Every structure is written in structure tokens, then in C-alpha cells.
Amino acid sequence: MLAQSSSFATLKPHLSGLDMAALRAEFEANAEFIAIPEFLSTHDIAPLLDALPALESRVHRNFIPGHKKGGSISRYDLDAHAPSFPDFYRSPALQGFLQTLCGRPLLQCPADDPHTYALYYYTEAGDHIGWHYDTSYYKGARYTVLLGLEDRSSCRLEYELYRDDPKRATVSGATALSPGMLVVFNGDKLWHRVTPSAAGERRVVLTLEYVTTLGMHPLRRFVSNMKDAIAYFGFRQVFSGAKRS
């Protein structure tokens, strides 16, 4: 464990040097959304980048007409084949940074949540996801963290702030997710999509999920698993993954 944790030894000094008051103020002003370009260097995330080539054959392709097309790798495959990803997710320095940013304690998702950490691949023409919220299936809030790993694409994360606030005008924005860039948002608050990739483009993003309570009604767990099976990882991964890992 010590050897794995040392993979991200540069995180702590780097994150402790950030102006957290300013970042937290921006996050709050944006209704719990922030995009931080060059959050980490390629040196900081080298253990993640180095693991990517061996994962290529494990990408699960999915297609939901009118809503989504792309590839994904669930936490079960990352647990089994790329320990640097769960290591990164559990990094105390990263979790401490996120808790300060969000202004509340954050919990790691349970072992049977395939979305705890996952990879999204946009590698074919037209890969995209339509407008949606990252709905929390837990009883508390769900925070989504996106980290750019590879981006040779024209894809943009498009979003609308304050969409559900009747007192404020909606503000639209868009950003690429270049390597090392971090995006954090409250999944129930940010209406967002990713625009389609063109032929020959490639985009790989790491997603992390943290929550404020671990409680989840069994029916909502079932709905969440069905969504993950159909839209992301496949039935084999979702319904047998937790038992295998």
C-alpha cells in the first residue's frame, strides 16, 4: 500500500499550495461547479497515463440512439488491472482538496458502485453524450470529478449554470478537457453534455464519484445498476463485477 500511495507523492505539496479560498469562492459562485485548467501536470498523473495502453482492450463500447455513444471502463476492471486509478481516487491529498472545495465531508463510494471511478473513451466519429444531470442515486449529494487524460479532439463539455434557479438567468459555458485539467460539480445541479467527436479524434477522461451519504434505497441501486449496465459498462461488468473484485 505504501508503495502505491507514493505514486502520487507530488499531489500533496502541489495541492497544499493552491489558493483554496479563491477556488472555493468560485465553486460556490458557480452553484457548485468549477473547471481548473492545468490542475495537475503530466508528471503528477504519470501513473494514470502509463496504465492506459494496457487498458485499451478492456474498453466497453455502448450506444443509446439519440443520447449517447462511446466507450467506458468500470472500476471493477480498474481495480483488477490498473491499481493506480483506485490509488488516485483514495489519495488523501486529493480527497482533502475536494472536501475543502465542496465545504463538506465527502465519502468514497461503496465497492459495488461501478461508477466510483471509471474511464470514458471518445474514439470514434460521433461519440458523445446528450444533455443530462449526474443524478445522485444516494440519499445525499453526489459530486462528479472529471480529469482530462488525453485530448486530441474537438469535443467540448458544455454546461448550463443556474438552470434550476428561478432567480437567476441561465449561464452557458463550454470547455475542452485537456490533460491534467480538473472539473468538479454537484451532479444534481449541473446540466451538461459532451459534443460529438469527429473521425480520427481521441479523448480519454477519468471520472471520479464522491458522495455525502452512503445510504441508497435498494430500488434506486437497481435503477442505477441498470443505467450503468446499458449506458456504460455492460451487464457482465455491473452485475458480476463486485463479486469478482
Here the cell at position 33 is 461547479
Q: Which is closer to Fe ion, CB of 133 or CB of 162?
A: 133
Q: How far is the CB of 192 from Fe ion (least distance, A)?
A: 6
Q: Which is closer to Fe ion, CB of 8 or CB of 138?
A: 138
DSSP letter at 156?
-
Q: How far is the CB of 3 from Fe ion (least distance, A)?
A: 33
Q: Which is closer to Fe ion, CB of 8 or CB of 33?
A: 33
Which residues in this chain contact Fe ion in the complex, by CB under 5 A?
134
Q: Are 195 and 158 in contact (CB under 8 A)?
A: yes
Q: What is the rounded distance in angstroms from the CA atom of residue 11 to the CA atom of residue 157?
A: 25
Q: How far is the CB of 58 from Fe ion (least distance, A)?
A: 21
Q: Are 91 and 40 in contact (CB under 8 A)?
A: no
Beta strand residue intervals within 7-113, DSSP E: 33-36, 60-64, 68-73, 107-108
Closest C-alpha to 84, from 120, 48, 59, 115? 48
Q: How far is the CB of 224 from Fe ion (least distance, A)?
A: 14
Q: Which is closer to Fe ion, CB of 127 or CB of 134?
A: 134
Q: What is the rounded distance in angstroms from the CA atom of residue 148 to the CA atom of residue 221?
A: 28
Stretch (H or E) spanning 26:
helix 20-29
Q: How far is the CB of 157 from Fe ion (least distance, A)?
A: 9
Residue closest to Fe ion, measured at CB: 134
Q: How far is the CB of 12 from Fe ion (least distance, A)?
A: 29
Q: How far is the CB of 70 from Fe ion (least distance, A)?
A: 11
Q: What is the rounded distance in angstroms from the CA atom of residue 101 to the CA atom of residue 22?
A: 10
Q: What is the rounded distance in angstroms from the CA atom of residue 119 to the CA atom of residue 137?
A: 20
Here the cell at position 151 is 485530448
Q: Which is closer to Fe ion, CB of 113 or CB of 134?
A: 134
Stretch (H or E) spanning 143:
strand 142-152
Q: Which is closer to Fe ion, CB of 11 or CB of 109?
A: 109
Q: What is the rounded distance in angstroms from the CA atom of residue 85 to the CA atom of residue 213?
A: 22
Q: Which is closer to Fe ion, CB of 124 or CB of 134?
A: 134
